């Protein structure tokens, strides 16, 4: 599933192409990919709208349209938004085609878990998916103290707490594993047991890993691509994620792979305390 760096990369690449364009038509090939407001069909309300801005909240893309409407896009596991300069032959699993004043935007999703929602702009942050999200980890007001307050009541494994979008928005399996390795913290630590020095290290690790992921334009193993169809390269810099049984880059011992909260987790028993 695309995490914060991937969604931010998609946002930036979309901004290069679709800002201030008009959605002249919508071709809906699978109705389950979208959800419209109660009164209007999705295509009817989106058609003719101008794209004013594109923002990100956690793993969600927020596309502001004119006249008080917004799209909320969630890629889930295999969703992609690809821009094409002109009419383009659709892939097998393309479910929505937005025909713009200059080019096309295709929403493709092999496993059909992704969704695009149409909501009134004034109410979008009250949508159930957004109103429960924790703080943005790259914002200035996200401090070690804030992180500590989010973990204070979490008597669960640290890995599980950080995957909870109510604690911190945008983190997923890849960047949690990498952040915990950089911070030297075991994913099995109880979340509310961290001391101030450890919280500071974790806070710094989260921000540095996410920034590195964005600079590398995300992590591509299978499905993830930006709006231009380009892969990211952060997979080449991973130190623990996906490397179970391989040698730790710091101490040379074999990395451990185990399940935590239903998610595969890789870490170093020696370097992560």
- Residue numbers annotated as active site: 2-3, 59, 263
Contact status, residue 128 vs residue 232, Cβ threshold 8 Å: no
Q: Rounded to whole angstroms, how far apart are CA atoms 139 and 206?
A: 12
Q: Rounded to whole angstroms, how far apart are CA atoms 253 and 90?
A: 47
Q: Shortest CA distance to 20 belongs to which of 102, 108, 78?
A: 102
Secondary structure letter of residue 221 according to DSSP? S
The number of residues making up the chain comes to 273
Between the alpha carbon of residue 43 and those of residues 11, 97, 218, the distances in Å are 22, 11, 31
Q: Coil, strand or helix: which one is 159?
A: helix
């Amino acid at each position: 599933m695309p995490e914060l760096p991937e969604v931010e990369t998609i946002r930036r690449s979309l901004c290069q192409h679709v800002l201030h364009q008009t959605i002249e038509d919508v071709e809906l090939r699978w109705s389950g990919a979208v959800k419209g407001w109660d009164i209007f069909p999705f295509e009817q309300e989106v058609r003719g709208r101008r794209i004013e801005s594109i923002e990100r909240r956690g793993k969600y893309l927020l596309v502001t349209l004119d006249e008080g409407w917004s799209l909320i896009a969630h890629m889930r596991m295999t969703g992609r938004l690809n821009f094409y300069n002109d009419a383009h032959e659709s892939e097998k699993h393309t479910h929505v085609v937005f025909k713009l004043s200059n080019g096309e935007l295709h929403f493709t999703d092999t496993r059909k878990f992704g969704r695009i929602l149409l909501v009134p702009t004034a109410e979008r942050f009250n949508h159930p998916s957004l109103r429960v999200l924790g703080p943005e980890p790259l914002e200035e007001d996200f401090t070690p103290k804030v992180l500590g307050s989010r973990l204070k009541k979490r008597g669960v494994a640290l890995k599980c707490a950080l995957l909870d979008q109510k604690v911190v928005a945008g983190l997923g399996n890849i960047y949690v594993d990498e952040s915990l390795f950089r911070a030297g913290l075991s994913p099995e630590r109880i979340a509310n047991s961290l001391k101030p020095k450890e919280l500071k290290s974790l806070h710094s690790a989260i921000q540095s890993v996410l920034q590195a992921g964005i600079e590398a334009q995300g992590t591509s193993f299978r499905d993830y691509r930006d709006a231009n169809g380009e892969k990211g390269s952060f997979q080449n810099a991973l130190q623990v994620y996906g490397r179970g049984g391989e040698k730790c880059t710091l101490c040379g011992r074999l990395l451990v792979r185990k399940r935590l909260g239903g998610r595969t987790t890789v870490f170093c028993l020696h370097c992560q305390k």
